[in-house]
Amino acid sequence: MELPGRAIETFLTTHPAAFCADCLAKRVGLPAGQVSMVMHRLQAAPGFRSEAGLCSECRRKVSVIKADLAG
């Protein structure tokens, strides 16, 4: 996985809350479009869950991703 993907993956596994693309982009310092592409790839990866839900930062109900620490 490329560097931005690893940075996002590491952030999510160390911050077990749900984040939307915009808030995750602000947290990791990357463009929202790039974060959105990485989120799309991670949603199919083991250990991550993407769903329509509440973002832990902005509190909007949008597509969010988080580490699935249970499995």
Q: Is the pLDDT of residue 49 over 90?
A: yes
Q: Is the pLDDT of residue 1 over 70?
A: no
Helix 32-42 / helix 21-28 crossing angle, nearest 10 deg? 110
Q: What is the pLDDT of residues 3-46, one digit of tens each?
A: 778 999 999 999 989 999 999 999 999 999 999 999 999 988 89
Domains and CATH numbers, the chain: 3-67 (1.10.10.10)
Task: Tell me the three state secondary structure of residue 38.
Answer: helix
